[in-house]
Amino acid sequence: RKEVEQDPGPFNVPEGATVAFNCTYSNSASQSFFWYRQDCRKEPKLLMSVYSSGNEDGRFTAQLNRASQYISLLIRDSKLSDSATYLCVVIGSSNTGKLIFGQGTTLQVKP
């Protein structure tokens, strides 16, 4: 089993749609969780951290379920500019802060 698993998609949605991405992780000792966004042929950029209580940043909402070892990202009112690959990222329990990346979920927002 992969340490971090995501549905690779692609998710093709119309502008204005709400879309949700899911991610599962295998190490129950994992302590920190993030969503990164990666545009084609560019470096990943931090989208948001994921907190136990859930957190929202504008149209983006991240949720963490430690019991199920599950992370989600919800995007409301999709924009064309949201088209990208979304990477689920987990940090294990070590002190080095090594990131473990999922394969990414590709989102294509259509006009």
Partner 1 sequence: SQTIHQWPATLVQPVGSPLSLECTVEGTSNPNLYWYRQAAGRGLQLLFYSVGIGQISSEVPQNLSASRPQDRQFILSSKKLLLSDSGFYLCAWSGQGKYLVTQYFGPGTRLTVL
| Dist CA 42 CA 102 (whole Å) | 17
The encoded tokens of residue 109 equal: 């927002």
Exactly one of 37, 84, 102, 107 binds partner 1 (CB under 8 A); that residue is: 102
State the first-to-last Cα distance of the chain, in angstroms, to the nearest integer: 37
Out of 27, 49, 69, 108, the residue judged to bind partner 1 by CB under 8 A: 49
Closest CA to 107 of 9, 5, 7, 14: 9
| Residue 16 vs 45, nearer CB to partner 1 | 45
HSE toward the beta carbon, residue 103, CA cutoff 13 A: 7
Q: Which stretch binds partner 1 (CB under 8 A): 13-21, 22-30, 41-49, 59-67?
A: 41-49
Q: Give the one residue of 16, 20, 26, 45 binding partner 1; rule: CB under 8 A.
A: 45
Is 66 among the residues that bind partner 1 (CB under 8 A)?
A: no
In whole angstroms, what is the distance from residue 86 CA to residue 34 CA?
10
The pattern of x and - marking residues 4 through 33 that bind partner 1 according to CB under 8 A reads ----------------------------x-
| Complex with partner 1: residue 5 or 17, whichever CB lies closer | 5
